[in-house]
Amino acid sequence: MSASAVIRHLAKSEEMFAETHNFVGLGAHLDGPVDTDALAEAFDTLLEVHPVLGGHLERDADQRWQIVVDDLMHPGIMVVDNRDGSAEVVPPHFDQTETLVHLRVVVLDGGAQPTLYVHHSLADGHHQFALIEELFSYYTDLVTTGDLRPGPVEPAPDSLETVLAHRGITKLHRSGLERFMPALFAYELPPSRRTTSTARPSAPQQVPMAWCGLDERQTRAIVDYARSNGVGLNGVLAAVILIAEWQVRGRRRIPVPYIYPVDLRYVLSPPVTATAATNPVGVGTFLADIDHGTDVLDLATRIAEAYRADLAEGVIAQSLLHFTPSYEGNPPGLPDVVMMTDNGVVPPMRTPPGVRLTAVHGELHFQVGGGIEMYTSKIFDGRLMIEYHTHGPDPQRSIDAIATLLAGIAAPADPVIGAGALR
């Protein structure tokens, strides 16, 4: 019988990820040979440096979720040999009561696609990017020098609530959700695309994803447009997505509620390092009133002004002390909420000579039967990519509307370079 130890209970900001059994995948597309044995050793080293990753979740006597570690070995990496293109590539078996992290490596002809999956209660996107950078730093050292020198063992990351408490941040009068009040039960609404299903799958399932991307020149043009107008890339992308949503919804005079996470690592003092906390984010909100005269710059400016005001007043930093956003379904009486996470610029990653990182992608896995709607954005290798993870109907229609608006800003005559869907 193995010995086990309770690390801590999940905080309120983390519990929602346990209730939906939410795992997030970050995939790297590599050109060049990959040594899976060395990658397995690098993964074992990552678990040694961050032992909480080798833990699992259990409910206590009061049915609260807690992080538990034991002395059982992690099952290791999952290798799928798909060099001839005939293998069935399936995700790992996700069970948060067994393990909270997986590494699947799909070996291709001339390359590989490793994907690191981490339970969302342990890590947000920033945290997960840092983990995969660390993993490949170990791997690169192993295959180039035959040795690696890991850092000290890291403690379990703090929750958002702990991070805020240590900095004296407490609940204010406003939560940010007040911005949605004018739209609450104020309109005759069409059926929600975020309708949940009573049928719950037996294990977490991947949310279908559609996407579009720009080339380097178009991406530069979008970034320059945002910078020259003083609104920031996040504001421009949010405005594009919200106008596209308004178009897809039939161009009705119904506002579009918008909610987005804000990485507090860049806001708090003292700052929070990449892996020191699980999900150190606040939430920004905006109610987009759109009509036929609304253009991207006008809407982006209004979004940026609301963001700056709420950030300066401390509303965003303490927002999640008031409420827990739900990824599943839509609040009653409110038009469908749009959620977008801007992952910013994906940093370069160490790889051995002869191995090149050519693309990255995200995956969302939930143990729910429907109701998930989320946009993400990133810039990798100078190229902007928008992903739309949704259980809703016809996601490509939304992506096509976004692509058209982006291309119109970048260069009116140019189409986007790529689009697609993953189901």
- DSSP letter, residue 170: -
Number of other residues whose CB lies within 10 A of the CB of residue 276: 16
Q: What residues are annotated to the active site?
A: 120
Q: What is the rounded CA–CA span in Å between residue 279 and residue 13? A: 8
Number of other residues whose CB lies within 10 A of the CB of residue 21: 23
Q: Which residue has the tokens 């001839």?
A: 84
Using a 10 angstrom Cβ sphere, with 0-12 exposed, 13-18 middle and 19 or more buried, the burial of residue 173 is exposed
Four-residue CA torsion sign, 25, 122, 315, 186: positive
Using a 10 angstrom Cβ sphere, with 0-12 exposed, 13-18 middle and 19 or more buried, the burial of residue 153 is exposed
Q: What is the rounded CA–CA span in Å between residue 9 and residue 241? A: 37
Q: Cα separations (Å) of 264 from 163, 238, 274, 314, 319?
A: 10, 19, 11, 11, 11
- Residues forming a β-bridge with 6: 68
As a whole number of Å, the CA-based R_g of the chain is: 22
Please report which helix (H) or strand (E) contains residue 233, including its range.
helix 232-248
Number of other residues whose CB lies within 10 A of the CB of residue 46: 23
Identify how many contiguous H helices and E strands the chain contains and give both numbers: 8, 16
The helix/strand/coil state of 117 is strand
Q: Cα separations (Å) of 355 from 35, 110, 112, 352, 408?
A: 11, 10, 10, 6, 35
Q: What is the rounded CA–CA span in Å between residue 285 and residue 175? A: 9
318 neighbors 166 (Cβ within 8 angstroms): no
Q: How open is the CA angle 403-306-212, to the nearest 5 degrees? A: 15
- DSSP letter, residue 407: H
Sheet containing 111-119: order of strands: 78-81, 101-108, 111-119, 23-31, 356-366, 205-206
Q: Which residue has the tokens 């945002």?
A: 226
